[in-house]
Amino acid sequence: MIHSAETSHSRSTSDSEIAVFWRGILLNRLSKMLSAGNYSPAQHSRHLDFSSEWVVPFLGPKPRSINGKDVPVFNSYMCDDNTPIEFSVSWKPGNRNPMVRFSIEPLPPDEHTAPSNIVAYGLQAMDSLHRALQAPASTLSNYLLLEPSRFTEISKNIGCSNVQGATIVSNIFLGFDLLPSHAQAKAYCVLHSALGLLETLTLVNSASPYTADTATSALFTYFQTKPAEW
Protein backbone atom coordinates (compact mmCIF):
# COMPACT_ATOMS: atom_id res chain seq x y z
CA MET A 1 0.00 0.00 0.00
CA ILE A 2 1.19 3.52 -0.80
CA HIS A 3 1.08 5.88 2.16
CA SER A 4 1.34 9.66 1.81
CA ALA A 5 3.42 10.41 4.89
CA GLU A 6 4.73 13.52 3.16
CA THR A 7 1.47 15.44 3.01
CA SER A 8 -0.55 16.66 5.95
CA HIS A 9 -3.49 17.56 3.73
CA SER A 10 -4.04 13.93 2.69
CA ARG A 11 -4.06 12.83 6.32
CA SER A 12 -6.30 15.64 7.55
CA THR A 13 -8.97 14.99 4.91
CA SER A 14 -8.69 11.19 4.81
CA ASP A 15 -12.00 10.62 6.61
CA SER A 16 -13.77 13.86 5.73
CA GLU A 17 -17.10 14.05 3.95
CA ILE A 18 -15.35 15.66 0.99
CA ALA A 19 -12.79 12.86 0.70
CA VAL A 20 -15.48 10.20 0.99
CA PHE A 21 -17.43 11.85 -1.83
CA TRP A 22 -14.48 12.08 -4.23
CA ARG A 23 -13.22 8.61 -3.39
CA GLY A 24 -16.64 7.29 -4.35
CA ILE A 25 -16.49 9.09 -7.69
CA LEU A 26 -12.86 8.38 -8.55
CA LEU A 27 -12.18 4.94 -7.09
CA ASN A 28 -15.42 3.29 -8.16
CA ARG A 29 -14.89 4.25 -11.78
CA LEU A 30 -11.19 3.41 -11.74
CA SER A 31 -11.84 0.04 -10.14
CA LYS A 32 -14.23 -0.96 -12.92
CA MET A 33 -11.83 0.25 -15.61
CA LEU A 34 -8.84 -1.55 -14.09
CA SER A 35 -10.85 -4.77 -13.90
CA ALA A 36 -11.92 -4.38 -17.53
CA GLY A 37 -8.27 -3.78 -18.46
CA ASN A 38 -7.20 -7.06 -16.82
CA TYR A 39 -4.84 -5.44 -14.32
CA SER A 40 -3.64 -7.92 -11.73
CA PRO A 41 -5.05 -7.69 -8.17
CA ALA A 42 -1.73 -6.22 -6.95
CA GLN A 43 -1.64 -3.64 -9.74
CA HIS A 44 -5.31 -2.84 -9.19
CA SER A 45 -4.75 -2.25 -5.48
CA ARG A 46 -1.63 -0.15 -5.94
CA HIS A 47 -3.25 2.22 -8.43
CA LEU A 48 -6.30 2.68 -6.22
CA ASP A 49 -4.14 3.29 -3.15
CA PHE A 50 -2.20 6.00 -4.97
CA SER A 51 -5.35 7.65 -6.32
CA SER A 52 -6.99 7.62 -2.91
CA GLU A 53 -4.05 9.13 -1.04
CA TRP A 54 -2.62 11.53 -3.60
CA VAL A 55 -5.32 12.48 -6.11
CA VAL A 56 -8.46 12.77 -3.98
CA PRO A 57 -7.08 15.72 -1.93
CA PHE A 58 -6.65 17.72 -5.17
CA LEU A 59 -10.27 17.48 -6.32
CA GLY A 60 -11.61 20.43 -4.36
CA PRO A 61 -14.91 20.82 -2.47
CA LYS A 62 -17.77 18.43 -3.08
CA PRO A 63 -20.57 19.89 -5.24
CA ARG A 64 -23.35 21.86 -3.61
CA SER A 65 -26.85 20.45 -3.71
CA ILE A 66 -29.14 23.04 -5.31
CA ASN A 67 -32.74 22.12 -6.11
CA GLY A 68 -31.84 18.45 -5.94
CA LYS A 69 -28.90 18.76 -8.33
CA ASP A 70 -25.15 18.63 -7.67
CA VAL A 71 -23.62 21.94 -8.72
CA PRO A 72 -19.79 22.22 -8.78
CA VAL A 73 -18.31 24.88 -6.52
CA PHE A 74 -15.66 25.66 -9.15
CA ASN A 75 -16.42 25.40 -12.85
CA SER A 76 -13.58 23.18 -13.99
CA TYR A 77 -12.48 23.35 -17.61
CA MET A 78 -11.83 19.58 -17.55
CA CYS A 79 -15.33 18.44 -18.58
CA ASP A 80 -18.44 19.94 -20.11
CA ASP A 81 -20.34 19.41 -16.86
CA ASN A 82 -17.58 21.27 -14.96
CA THR A 83 -16.39 18.23 -12.98
CA PRO A 84 -12.60 18.06 -12.45
CA ILE A 85 -12.05 14.40 -13.51
CA GLU A 86 -11.92 12.83 -16.97
CA PHE A 87 -11.39 9.11 -17.57
CA SER A 88 -10.01 7.46 -20.71
CA VAL A 89 -8.26 4.37 -22.03
CA SER A 90 -5.46 3.88 -24.53
CA TRP A 91 -4.31 0.86 -26.51
CA LYS A 92 -0.57 0.49 -27.00
CA PRO A 93 0.99 -1.51 -29.87
CA GLY A 94 1.45 -5.15 -28.97
CA ASN A 95 -0.81 -4.99 -25.93
CA ARG A 96 -4.27 -6.56 -26.07
CA ASN A 97 -5.41 -4.84 -22.90
CA PRO A 98 -6.15 -1.10 -22.65
CA MET A 99 -4.16 1.22 -20.41
CA VAL A 100 -6.34 3.14 -17.99
CA ARG A 101 -5.80 6.89 -17.81
CA PHE A 102 -7.41 9.81 -16.08
CA SER A 103 -6.85 13.53 -15.80
CA ILE A 104 -7.82 16.07 -13.17
CA GLU A 105 -7.85 19.79 -12.68
CA PRO A 106 -6.42 20.38 -9.18
CA LEU A 107 -8.87 22.51 -7.23
CA PRO A 108 -8.36 24.05 -3.77
CA PRO A 109 -10.27 22.49 -0.86
CA ASP A 110 -11.53 25.85 0.39
CA GLU A 111 -14.67 26.80 -1.54
CA HIS A 112 -14.02 30.46 -0.74
CA THR A 113 -10.76 30.46 -2.71
CA ALA A 114 -10.72 33.21 -5.32
CA PRO A 115 -10.89 31.80 -8.87
CA SER A 116 -7.72 33.74 -9.67
CA ASN A 117 -5.80 31.49 -7.25
CA ILE A 118 -6.83 28.18 -8.80
CA VAL A 119 -3.90 28.16 -11.23
CA ALA A 120 -1.48 28.76 -8.39
CA TYR A 121 -3.04 25.83 -6.54
CA GLY A 122 -2.52 23.61 -9.59
CA LEU A 123 1.17 24.44 -9.59
CA GLN A 124 1.34 23.76 -5.85
CA ALA A 125 -0.30 20.36 -6.39
CA MET A 126 2.34 19.42 -8.91
CA ASP A 127 5.08 20.70 -6.63
CA SER A 128 3.77 18.61 -3.74
CA LEU A 129 4.03 15.46 -5.87
CA HIS A 130 7.55 16.40 -6.85
CA ARG A 131 8.61 17.04 -3.26
CA ALA A 132 7.02 13.77 -2.15
CA LEU A 133 9.07 11.91 -4.74
CA GLN A 134 12.25 13.55 -3.47
CA ALA A 135 11.59 12.74 0.20
CA PRO A 136 14.15 10.27 1.64
CA ALA A 137 11.55 7.74 2.79
CA SER A 138 9.16 8.22 -0.11
CA THR A 139 7.15 5.18 -1.13
CA LEU A 140 6.35 6.89 -4.44
CA SER A 141 9.89 6.71 -5.84
CA ASN A 142 9.42 3.23 -7.31
CA TYR A 143 5.88 3.90 -8.49
CA LEU A 144 5.37 7.39 -9.89
CA LEU A 145 7.27 8.91 -12.82
CA LEU A 146 7.14 12.70 -12.94
CA GLU A 147 9.29 15.20 -14.75
CA PRO A 148 8.21 18.69 -13.69
CA SER A 149 11.16 20.75 -14.88
CA ARG A 150 9.91 21.44 -18.42
CA PHE A 151 6.37 22.18 -17.27
CA THR A 152 7.59 24.51 -14.54
CA GLU A 153 9.68 26.42 -17.06
CA ILE A 154 6.78 26.67 -19.50
CA SER A 155 4.39 27.90 -16.83
CA LYS A 156 6.85 30.61 -15.84
CA ASN A 157 7.30 31.71 -19.44
CA ILE A 158 3.61 32.17 -20.13
CA GLY A 159 2.85 33.85 -16.83
CA CYS A 160 0.77 31.42 -14.79
CA SER A 161 3.21 30.84 -11.94
CA ASN A 162 2.37 33.91 -9.89
CA VAL A 163 1.27 32.45 -6.55
CA GLN A 164 -0.85 35.52 -5.90
CA GLY A 165 -2.86 34.77 -9.02
CA ALA A 166 -2.12 38.17 -10.53
CA THR A 167 -1.61 36.80 -14.04
CA ILE A 168 -3.95 34.04 -15.12
CA VAL A 169 -3.78 32.77 -18.69
CA SER A 170 -4.16 29.05 -18.22
CA ASN A 171 -5.66 26.15 -16.34
CA ILE A 172 -3.45 23.40 -14.95
CA PHE A 173 -4.39 19.79 -15.65
CA LEU A 174 -2.60 16.71 -14.29
CA GLY A 175 -2.81 13.42 -16.18
CA PHE A 176 -2.02 9.94 -14.89
CA ASP A 177 -1.31 6.93 -17.11
CA LEU A 178 -1.76 3.76 -15.05
CA LEU A 179 0.74 1.29 -16.47
CA PRO A 180 1.05 -2.23 -15.04
CA SER A 181 4.15 -1.51 -12.94
CA HIS A 182 3.84 2.21 -12.24
CA ALA A 183 2.02 5.46 -12.96
CA GLN A 184 3.24 8.15 -15.32
CA ALA A 185 2.22 11.69 -14.34
CA LYS A 186 1.92 14.43 -16.93
CA ALA A 187 1.03 18.09 -16.68
CA TYR A 188 -0.90 20.23 -19.12
CA CYS A 189 -1.10 23.98 -19.41
CA VAL A 190 -4.47 24.66 -21.02
CA LEU A 191 -4.80 28.10 -22.53
CA HIS A 192 -8.10 29.88 -22.00
CA SER A 193 -10.39 29.61 -25.00
CA ALA A 194 -11.29 33.26 -24.52
CA LEU A 195 -7.90 34.27 -25.89
CA GLY A 196 -7.76 35.33 -29.50
CA LEU A 197 -5.93 33.13 -32.01
CA LEU A 198 -2.83 35.31 -32.23
CA GLU A 199 -2.75 35.70 -28.44
CA THR A 200 -2.89 31.92 -28.05
CA LEU A 201 -0.17 31.32 -30.64
CA THR A 202 1.98 34.01 -29.01
CA LEU A 203 1.76 32.23 -25.69
CA VAL A 204 2.46 28.82 -27.21
CA ASN A 205 5.38 30.28 -29.12
CA SER A 206 6.88 31.73 -25.93
CA ALA A 207 6.36 28.56 -23.92
CA SER A 208 9.41 26.68 -25.15
CA PRO A 209 12.81 27.58 -26.59
CA TYR A 210 12.31 24.85 -29.21
CA THR A 211 9.35 26.31 -31.08
CA ALA A 212 11.27 28.33 -33.67
CA ASP A 213 11.38 25.48 -36.21
CA THR A 214 7.99 23.95 -35.43
CA ALA A 215 4.58 24.09 -37.04
CA THR A 216 3.47 26.42 -34.25
CA SER A 217 5.91 29.05 -35.41
CA ALA A 218 4.79 28.62 -39.01
CA LEU A 219 1.14 28.99 -38.01
CA PHE A 220 1.95 32.13 -36.05
CA THR A 221 3.66 33.69 -39.07
CA TYR A 222 0.81 32.65 -41.37
CA PHE A 223 -1.98 34.13 -39.26
CA GLN A 224 -0.04 37.34 -38.74
CA THR A 225 -0.35 37.95 -42.48
CA LYS A 226 -4.09 37.29 -42.72
CA PRO A 227 -6.67 40.09 -42.93
CA ALA A 228 -8.20 41.29 -39.67
CA GLU A 229 -11.58 39.70 -40.43
CA TRP A 230 -9.93 36.28 -40.35
DSSP of 75-97: --SSSTT--SEEEEEEPPTT-SS
pLDDT at 3: 35
21-25, 60-64, 77-81: least confidently modelled range: 77-81
Higher per-residue confidence, 142 vs 215: 142
Which range, 74-78, 94-98, 179-183, 202-206, is most confident?
A: 179-183
pLDDT over threshold 90, residue 43: yes
Q: Sorting pLDDT into bands at 50, 70 and 90, what band is 51?
A: very high
Mean pLDDT computed over every residue of the chain: 76
Q: What are the φ/ψ torsions at residue 50 (nearest 5 degrees)? A: -60, -50
What average pLDDT score do residues 105-114 get?
89
Q: Give the pLDDT score at 74.
A: 87
Q: Kindly report, residue by residue over 183-219, the tens digit of the pLDDT.
A: 999 887 766 544 456 666 666 666 555 445 565 566 5
3-state secondary structure (DSSP) of residue 15: coil
**What is the percent of the chain where pLDDT is above 90?**
31
C-alpha pair distances (Å), 116 with each of 74, 80, 161, 172, 191: 11, 20, 12, 12, 14
To the nearest 10°, the Cα dihedral for 24, 183, 49, 21? -20
Q: Angle, nearest 10°, between helix axes 149-158 and 118-134?
A: 160
pTM, full prediction: 0.72
**Which pLDDT value is given to residue 101?**
96
Highest mean pLDDT among 14-18, 116-120, 207-211: 116-120
For residues 67-103, one letter each, b for 16 or more C-beta atoms within 10 angstroms of the residue's C-beta and e for the rest, the string is eeeeebbbebbbeeeebbbeeeeeeeeeeeeebbbbb
